[in-house]
Amino acid sequence: MPTSDSLISKTAIETIDLLSRGEITPLDCLDALEARISAVDKAVNALPTLCMDRAREAARAVMAKPKSERGLLQGLPIAIKDLTDVKGVLTTYGSPAFAKHIPAASDPLVERLEGEGGVIYAKTNTPEFGAGANTFNEVFGPTLNPWNTSRSAAGSSGGSAVALATGTAWLAHGSDLGGSLRNPASFCGIVGLRPSPGRVATARGAPVENLLSVQGPMARNVEDCALFLDALSGEDVRDPVSLPKPSASFLAATRSGWKPKRVAFSADLGITPVDSEVAEICRKAAYRFAELGAVVEEAHPDFTEVHDTFNVLRAKNFAISKKDLLETKREFLKPEVIWNIEKGLTLTMADHHRAETQRATLYGRTLAFFETYDLICTPATIVAPFPVENRYVESCNGVKFDNYVHWLAIAYAFTTVGCPAISIPCGFTREGLPVGLQIAARQRGDGRLLAGAKALENVLGCSTLTPIFPKQPPRAKE
């Protein structure tokens, strides 16, 4: 059997292969994770809630089944973001209002993962209700970037990204509204995929038809991410926008050898400032699609109205889903959450009409764009990891942002039009901080997106950057 350290360094697919051949057991995996968590997590605070007793019970249940009935995951441990309910496990949503909340039932996606042989062992840290792309909250404190523990891990799936980067997870679940799978992936040197809306079924509150927020996979490389999407995806009657599982697996699509013929690159999508060093790292990475035979050109859809559209739709969702919370537990909520709810409550029917009309226009323009281009590449985030004490990015290149989500526009542009998008590692800044390349495909083009990302990952050679041990900030020169 591999040693604990060598097991931690294996990919999820390699580990599942060992499980399926009986060379290791799910209990061996949990032992390895527990040792690694003890060694590294105090330095980064990625996994504030562990449920190892529950996990070992679940592992034994998987082991009692015939190998053919153990599902895609074969007993592999999975970490779940603390916005998602796990039965019997502390689930706080990052909010003091739910600091002692223990759900009586699991979210459908957790049930699906457990049905595929996934073993839930931990909850990953998140900002309050996922609001703000910096992972800190008043319940557990901040999660720190393992490449430099003075820096932000981004968010809101920051705990998941850091767990992957430090080897305390092989696969970790996340969610994404304004880049919450992609931003932390970029900051931590791992892979985060925002799949098409409905690809992963989840519990639906109000508004039921919300297509901005999705659930998705995070991993250390593209193939692991694709396998995890296979385990997550599928239709569920409890989620009225959920999609059926495709006939061919996402892992098969990733390994299909498909390569794009035309790729667009845009440093800013015409809507946001971008740090010049980040932009240049991403430009060089995107143009390496040419080594795969693709024509690479500077181009992007017209996203002129996206700020107004996204802000209205986001605020509407906050108002509908959290109005009661504002009225009963306002004192527990952070200022950004209060601002978003109150903004939503002031919206008029004219605001809703404008935003929905603009979204339809943006959707149509993007569809037309993908008639010419197979994929588009941008920076996943507009800056490198920033100091963790900064709540969010207030300005970039001399441009001051007018709210706490405006700096996320390069990610939320693709959210607004329903495109699947992925962040893959593509290089490092002069300070040694990771930079992620965002790649997006046409609506419901998840398979081709993964295939293209895998092809570029092979060229870039960035699939084995993690796991790492957390790095302290360099000492100032005396």
Alpha-carbon separation of residue 78 from 97, 117, 467 (angstroms): 26, 10, 16
Looking at residue 406, its pLDDT comes to 97
Residue span of the structural domain in which 8 resides: 4-460
The reported pLDDT for the residue numbered 2 is 78
pLDDT at 3: 73
Q: Is the peptide bond before 467 cis (omega within 30 degrees of 0)?
A: yes
Which string of b and e fits 302-319 if b means at least 16 CB within 10 Å? ebebbbebbbbbbbbbbb
**Domain count within the chain:** 1
User: Does an H or E element contain 296, and which?
Assistant: strand 295-298
pLDDT given at position 475: 78
Residue 278 lies in a domain: yes
The whole-number pLDDT of residue 477 equals 60
Residue 374, in any domain of the structure = yes
Domain assignment present for residue 39? The answer is yes
Q: Say what the pLDDT of residue 328 is.
A: 95
For the beta carbon of residue 3, count every other beta carbon within 10 angstroms.
9
Q: What is the pTM of this model?
A: 0.98
Determine the pLDDT at residue 426.
98
101 inside domain: yes
Domain of 192, CATH number, reads 3.90.1300.10
For residue 468, being part of any structural domain is answered with no
Asked if the structure places residue 465 within a domain, the reply is no
* 242 among known catalytic residues: no
Bridge pairing between strands 375-379 and 395-396? unpaired
Tokens representing 362 are 């943006």
Written as six digits, the tokens of 244 are: 């059926």
Report yes or no on 369 lying in a domain. yes
pLDDT for residue 183: 98
- At residue 218, the 3 state secondary structure works out as strand
CA 448, 169, 92 angle in degrees (round to 5)?
100
- Within a domain: residue 466? no
Question: Which residues lie below 8 Å from residue 417, measured CB to CB, with a gap of 6+?
Answer: 301, 359, 362, 363, 366, 443
Spell out, as residue ranges, where the chain has pLDDT lower than 70.
Answer: 1, 476-478
Please tell me which residue in 10, 81, 259, 334 is annotated as part of the active site: 81
Which residue of the set 156, 157, 175, 249 is catalytic? 156
Which residue is catalytic, options 180, 186, 423, 463? 180
Q: Is residue 156 annotated as part of the catalytic site, yes or no?
A: yes
Cβ atoms 382, 278 nearer than 8 A? yes
